[in-house]
Structure 1
Amino acid sequence: MTDEALPRDAQITEDTPMTTLDGRRVLNRRELADTYRISISHLEKLYRERDHNAHPEPAGTIDRALVWDADDWHQWYQHHTDVTGLESREDLQARTGLGLSTLARFWRERKTNQHPDPDKTIGNTMYWNPTTWDTWYQAYKANQRWRTNVDRSGNAEDLISLSDAARVLGMTPTSITSYPSAPPKHWPQPVEERTTGKGTIKRKYRRGDIWTYAEHRERGGGRPTGTPKTDRRYPYDGDPRLDQARAAITANPETPAVRLAGQLAQQHGGTAGTWSHIVRSARQHPEEDRQ
């Protein structure tokens, strides 16, 4: 048995051996493993990652063992393993012609290239929405072209003005006039700085330092130093889908989260897995908690 072998065709039937808790049919972890042919270790991993995968909470305990509502767990599992419309790294390779090593490098460098997170991860396999991935890849290619538009002529020790630095970077001089006062990430300090009789500050930069900045800069110059980040107070804070989930919860307070996520996905688009996260956040942060 491997963690990749996650059969979706397991069925909970009237003949399935099962205990009840408060009138609900429930399964413990061993029974889930036997019914769905999943290793205990993988079931434990799925439960540990419930904040990310929307795994249902236990219905309670029997003989000190956690048990889950059989129907709720089955619905969640069907959504969790449904990759309809999504593509794995191998699928992306077959469609785009890019090598697996290149696709793996894109993922390793996601902190700097903004590679999208997978829509779903099953076992060790990640899956992406192809539209989302293609949109990112087109922007990535455009960004790479933008980065190569740098004038590499001249001597690295040359001292150049701010306007000359803009031309080295392939930018218009007016586009970086704010850099000295609000420097983007990796912007170098001037080597020389003097104030003219009219009060104008003249700065000189080492050409090699501008080349170094060109190698590390972020698209758009990066966020200026001192610019505050806008941090979310909780997952999906400010996302209009959170209000849609809150409205659905208010209208259907007894509907299980997994089922509600599936309904929202059908109504508004997106994957049930993503909506499960949104529903979880909406339940943890209801409308009245917002100030």
Structure 2
Amino acid sequence: MTTEAPPRDEHITEDTLMAMLNGRRVLTRRELAEKHDLSVTHLEKLYREREANGHPAPVDAPGRELMWDATEWRRWYKELTGTAGLETREDLQERTGLARSTLELLYRERENNGHPLPEKTVGNTMYWNTKAWDAWYAEYKANQAWRTEIDRSGNAEDEITLAEAARVLHMEPTSITKYPVRPPKHWPEPIRVEPSPSGGRVKRWYRRGDIWKYGELRERGGGGRPAGTSKTTRRFPYDGDPRLDQARTALKASPDTPTAQLAGDLARQHGGTAGTWSHIVRSARQNPEG
């Protein structure tokens, strides 16, 4: 029997390779705590109460600390917390192939992209309705189709050079050499600047996540916009979106209706996802006049 595990002193992240035991992905209690945003103390309590809650038995790993089958434990915990049928960010990452950092960025930008709010939050872990998330993501990708592709590999906190930033943006390195001195709209500031060993020039380092953000905000062709749109400055989320007026009309007719219920009604009437309409309704409440 062979096992593979990350070094004990490494910080376990979503991108760290899990230990393998007889072909099964397994996790220690410490790793479960990291992946599911739970405290080790809470996990120990759950295990002590296993006769009552059905906690999975640890896998057979003689001479090692206790380890659990990752999939079996996650399925059990979902049933325990009443989140069966919902997906965590880890689930979305595994199913869609999107990087954890990409999923986090999409959620942080929810005011602009309409990312659905979690259906439920247990501890520090958020759970999304699978159908609602998939519908939103399909709409999001369709709306982003006119943009050039961005290389989403790597971690948002990576420090990358200008040449590496060009590769992330699928651009020729020579095409962005003037960006630091003649920055286009949304171009980020470097996080570190160092003199070149040869002297006379400097080497700039950028945060990978900032380059992703630029890639999302830039406009095709260095300033051109997709056909049928005009350049506007939004005063608040969904400013200028016709759906905002539809939400305002619905609010005037039913001002006391909860946001979630109203969003569902609008989604059925006009299409789109309830998650997206929730953001639109919130903006309509906060900005009742155009």
TM-score, structure 2 as length reference:
0.38
Q: Flag the structure with larger Rg.
A: 1
TM-score, structure 1 as length reference:
0.38
